[in-house]
Structure 1
């Protein structure tokens, strides 16, 4: 195995005999007690994920808001101190550089959270475009990130802090929250389709918070989770994964995150004209949900057909644990994306019937 980075929880994973994989250049667990077990724990109680492989950048200086407005598809001016904003960065042709979160401290100071596999690419992209007045810093190896997700997430974390976590609204955050005595940033965000919190703390303090949460949260049903469950959870909630539903050749509009694309904001951003053209001319392809009719699981990159015509491919597919059905997300020619349309998925050389269904597959009540 090539030289891989590890997070602060590496020794914990070894002690649990977790199944470790290469994920974005980091050695991380795909599962600890089993993907389905971890998935169901998040849907019914709570799970804790180590996502310290994610990248964190500081963007600071006079004109930081203006700079981010020119780089991002969403309207950064709408983010006030204490707000978290989901957005994308695009190339001139509308392809996606990355999707990310922006934390607004003030108009001169932001924190960006980017996908692990894109850290170097994103940092170079931002640095190349930044004016001299803007300082872009890569803090990815200084900041650890733990995600606590599920109906009992807030209850679990509340046991290690005096801060009123319920006062943090969705897509808001609080700085300088003491978690088990450790100064942390706490965000009401996540990637599972459930309520939850993301906890940013110093790299060398992550184990202390992790251990305290597992001990105190056990009575709430909190268990440690790997990235396999994180993927099935986000898939059911139809949250895109970069490299699958988003890429340099798939635009945010095609991926179905048009809510994070504000082509009417007064400032031009990279890719704006291409996205306007896609909007006004109509999308030629888009991501849709698939439900298998025949017995088969639609896996990533399986080709999709209408008769003899290839109309796209599966981007993500699995047997969805909450729903118990074989489901997929697929990027298809738009003329074949109407709900109820039947298509064929090429599963290892055999055509299997599927139909287009509504997404998200799961939405919490």
Structure 2
């Protein structure tokens, strides 16, 4: 007899799947405050290893209560006290909250240290509360020099509640600021509310996987008898996006094409503005007569304001996961939202709003289990950072978009920023523009903020062996002071990431790539092999700018001081780095590598965020006489395509091996004797290639675009990975992943437009992927 098949998908971080489990993040060099009840179990995890942990506990009267967790204070464990009295806005906010619990942050007792130094990654300690407690957990650490590798890293707190809520509803997140109003909307209901100009609306998915329809009307318009409402179609058209997100395209517009709301934060990034709020007709068509629906609920909520009811409301469907597939079919699936996820909006005029908690339980729209939506309205005096949330792994804690240490300098020159891998990065600069920025890099010198690159310190006696096992390059040949470009591959040969590796010492390396998961992956491999090595995240504590162009050396030699043990700036070789100072012996510590992503002579400068603006200002002071210009992502894309340099998600993915991505030179299968991850698969793939990355030169002036199909006759034989118009060459060029049968230079192919058949652009396979300076004489100059 066959047993029934049961669905048990992997769904990390969903409250409904584990209602007694809570997760919290302790930021590097920061602290987190949590409340425990008797019987609650707290697990503190050192995610990256070699990270200290301090903990304080207080009872309901505000007295120190470490004993209720089975702990004793540790001499000298005073990081929490120092942090809460450093004068920062954040510390004052926490101190004010503690004061309400009868705890004086100015006179804190000594904390408990949970473990000694040198703990391995994943080390943890479990504690059980014997009373009601307020607990402060901290990850001690501070600023370190750019050439030091002793980075502070995050801790994770896991709480297993002894008495989880019988309602299966997680606790609401703490308010973001001063509340004007808040209320909960039960599933299958809707509620109206009024917000003043400048006030903020936070729509919170309490338990995760729940949709909320939102409509808004101009209140003055209603007073005058006009229904001026928020319009999804106008919003999509004016933004050019399906859904407004924080940053450049952040506005919701009304039917008169005037802005009503601004998206300030979004921790989900996946919503719907294609369709109506659910209607009675939808449920009737499925056989569910009389089913509650959002459209009728919204009509009832707005009736008190004189708004005419509608059978179907064109609402903004927050958290609703819909899309249009390749066959033009409207699709839906479970929302991406997790417990506590939210959208934060700012009202641009006085509005009458209505929000619902969707009752749909007949399809995946609410994860098959409708739950609460919570609304908070904040005062107009509050100021919130513009941000989206990013997770490096599905079960990781969300981190809001960050600004680099150079942001005060770049933001003074432009408001054109994009959320690039969790960091606000300029796309182009006011008063310059993409072409001017491009030409400055080709002819003079340009500077770009590249702090979004991920940095990881790899330390310990097994560091070299680990990296040699995980990277395609032969790491044993890398000298101290040298940089090497390498691929990082999965077992099947597909690429996880590409990046550069710096050797700072015999057992000390720094990996710089684009993928946040790279550090976790290195840790996983080290654990499998039982290696003594630590991989510490350094992205928050090392920020970097690229200085690129023919005059880069002339500029930097005026401002980089090096001791006698290091090469001078003008002596620095290609793919080498130096450790120096800004201007003189007492200047800010810096590292300079002779690397770049433009195909020009160039350098990257690495510093602590606290020193970033000093470096930025000095660069401009010395660079303006040389014609220094800022460089945005749009101009960088033109430069790197001309230079045949690859980009994640375009030239490579986990389905593409280094040979197909055009970087086979970094896989020395013959000379590297040691085994490495993916070697066997790469041997097979090299012997039997299916595709190759080539350069194309297009006929005429019509451009290609990423994703365009490439044909020979009727057959599709390739895809455009990246394309641009080369200002220097005066022609359209592209990088293309092409079937090996058609990769000979001079082969004619056609780029398909429209449906791929109705319009074609002729193109010729070039001799190299490098369209500009193929022998790299400029970058080696």
How high is the TM-score relative to the length of structure 1? 0.96
Q: Which residue of 2 aligns with 1:135?
A: 534
Q: Which residue of 1 aligns with 2:580?
A: 176
Deviations 1:99-144 (A, max 9, x none): 01000112310011111xx11x111111111144110000000001
Q: Name which of structure 1's ranges 288-297 and 3-12 shifts more when overlaid on structure 2.
A: 3-12
Structure 2 counterpart of 1:303: 709
SS of alignment partner, residue 210 of structure 1: helix
- The Cα of 1:302 is off from its aligned counterpart by 0.5
Cα distance in structure 2, aligned partners of 1:50 and 1:17 = 13
Aligned to 1:341: 747
After superposition, residues 255-274 of structure 1 pair within 5 angstroms as: 255-264=661-670, 265-274=672-681
User: Using the alignment, how far apart are the partners of 2:677 and 2:405 within structure 1?
Assistant: 36
Q: Which residue of 2 aligns with 1:199?
A: 605
- 1:209 alignment partner, SS class: helix
Task: Tell me the SS of whatever aligns to 1:253.
Answer: coil
User: What SS class does the counterpart of residue 254 from structure 1 fall into?
Assistant: coil
Q: After the TM superposition, which residues 7-156 of structure 1 pair with which residues of structure 2 at under 5 Å, given as runs?
A: 7-32=404-429, 33-115=432-514, 118-119=515-516, 121-130=517-526, 131-156=530-555
Q: Larger deviation: 355-364 or 200-209? A: 355-364
Contact 2:406–2:609 (Cα < 8 Å) also in 1: no
5+ residue gaps, structure 2: 1-245, 247-265, 267-387, 389-400, 563-567
- Return the match for 1:326 from 713, 723, 732: 732
Q: What is the match of residue 223 of structure 1?
A: 629
Instruction: Measure the CA separation in 1 of the matches of 2:410 and 2:466.
Output: 40
Match of 2:696 among 276, 290, 299: 290
Q: Greater helix percent: which structure? A: 1
How far has the Cα of 1:198 moved from its partner? 0.7
Is the aligned partner of 1:361 residue 2:766? no
Partners in 2 of 1:23 and 1:347 — Cα distance? 28
Query: Structure 2: how far apart are the matches of 1:321 and 1:128?
Result: 45
Contact 1:244 1:315 in 2 (8 A): yes
8 A contact 2:558–2:583 mirrored in 1: no
Aligned structure 1 segments of 4 or more residues deviating by more than 4 angstroms? none
5+ residue gaps, structure 1? none
Q: CA deviation at 1:353?
A: 1.1
Aligned residues of 1:156 and 1:222 also touching (Cα < 8 A): no
Q: Residue 22 of structure 2 corresponds to which residue in structure 1? A: none
* Residue aligned with 1:136, SS: strand
Instruction: Report the alpha carbon displacement of residue 319 of structure 1 after superposing the two structures with TM.
Output: 0.6
Across the two proteins, how many residue pairs are aligned to each other?
361
8 Å contact from structure 1 (residues 73, 260) kept in 2: yes
Separation (CA, whole Å) in 1 of partners of 2:711 and 2:549: 37
Q: Which has the higher contact order (CA 8 A, sep 6+)?
A: 1
Structure-1 residue corresponding to 2:682: 275
- For the 8 Å contact 2:456–2:510, the answer to whether it is kept is yes
Give CA-to-partner distance per residue, 1:217-255, whole Å, 9 cap, x none: 111111111111111111101011111112111111111
Give, in whole Å, the separation in 1 of the partners of 2:405 and 2:720: 35
Compute the TM-score of the two structures, normalised by the length of structure 2: 0.45
- Aligned equivalents of 1:259, 1:304: Cα separation in 2: 25
User: Residues of 1 paired with 2:475 and 2:676: CA distance?
Assistant: 11
Residues 460 and 507 of structure 2 are in contact (CA less than 8 Å); yes or no, is this contact kept in structure 1? yes
Partners of 2:574 and 2:617 lie apart in 1 by 26
- How far off is 1:278 after superposition? 1.8
Compare the two structures and name the one with the higher strand fraction.
Answer: 1
Of 50-59 and 220-229, deviating more is 220-229
1: CA distance, partners of 2:422 / 2:560:
33
By how many angstroms is 1:14 displaced? 2.9
Indicate conservation of the 8 Å contact 1:101/1:113, yes or no: yes
Q: 2:426 touches 2:632 (CA, 8 Å); kept in 1?
A: yes
The farther-off stretch of 191-200 and 13-22 is: 13-22
SS at match of 1:245: coil
Does the CA-based 8 Å contact 2:701-2:731 persist in structure 1?
no
Task: Mark the structure with the bigger radius of gyration.
Answer: 2
Query: Is this contact kept in 1: 2:752–2:761, CA < 8 A?
Result: yes
